[in-house]
Amino acid sequence: MPLTAENLRVRCAEEMSHHPRGFNGCGWLRDAFLTVPREHFVPDRVWWPARGEDGRYRLYDRVRQPRAWLKAVYLPGVPLITQIDDGSVAPTGPADGAFTSSISAPGAVVELLRHLAPEPGHTVLEIGTGTGYTTALLAHRAGADHVTTLEIDARLAHHARTRLHALGLRPHAITGDGEHGHPPRAPYDRILATASVRTVPPAWLDQLRPGGLLLAPLDTPFGHDLLLRLEADGVGQAHGRFVAPVEFMRTRAQRTPRPYADLGWPPDVTRDQWQHLHVTVGPAGQRIRHALAP
């Protein structure tokens, strides 16, 4: 099989069709993945997410290494790093520093959207446009005019808008702090965060339609994030559970560590109990408890 973006996309989709955390029979999501060209959104220079022998992150250059770059784009479990240290590190070679933006692995994007379960015509708010790839998948499902996406970094936002417009997609792409949401287009049927938080921002709940779903990676005491799926109850609160272990970069406003007791976590919770935890978020704050606890 020739090495083309189309062939790699089909191969990647096939792998995710047989993985329990992949499409899981979700036909619209598989169609969207096969339709939207992921390579269109990946910058020409990205870093591999694991350190090399020299202790730095290797750079993949689309011009110098077109085959390796394209293969990396369609590896189901591999994110590609698009920004280090909030853009202060130029993508000119191997580098070190803190990851501050990426294009999530295909498998991670598929899992997010499968749990979000948007429907055609749903109003969707995306927190963290990044490259614009997930935005394009959302637009394919809900309709571009129904999608609002927020990106705090002006350079990333410009890249995403340019890439989206080149495909004829014009969602409401806004440069701003996603923790505040976007009240002018609220309420939303679905809210998706592609950056993790330590506590769910109140603005997201305020802008979620009663019965609407919010999906966000939440920091945990377990050394990794958990994907939190909340449903608004219509009286100011949202309730839900964790659906998958994940790893995402923190929102800028919530990078500073905080005691987990202050974030609503019970003191005796253990790593193997995550599937049995119930989460309530509302005006009184965030509470995480064992599902059978009073």
Per-residue pLDDT of the chain (294 residues), as tens digits, is 679 999 999 999 999 999 988 999 999 999 999 999 999 999 999 999 999 999 999 999 999 999 999 999 999 999 999 999 999 999 999 999 999 999 999 999 999 999 999 999 999 999 999 999 999 999 999 999 999 999 999 999 999 999 999 999 999 999 999 999 999 999 999 999 999 999 999 999 999 999 999 999 999 999 999 999 999 998 889 999 999 999 999 999 999 999 999 999 999 899 999 999 999 999 999 999 987 665
CATH architecture, domain defined by 107-290: 3-Layer(aba) Sandwich (3.40)
- In the chain, CATH 3.40.50.150 sits at 107-290
Is the pTM here over 0.85, yes or no?
Answer: yes
CB 133 within 8 A of CB 101: no
For the annotated catalytic residues, the residue numbers are 104
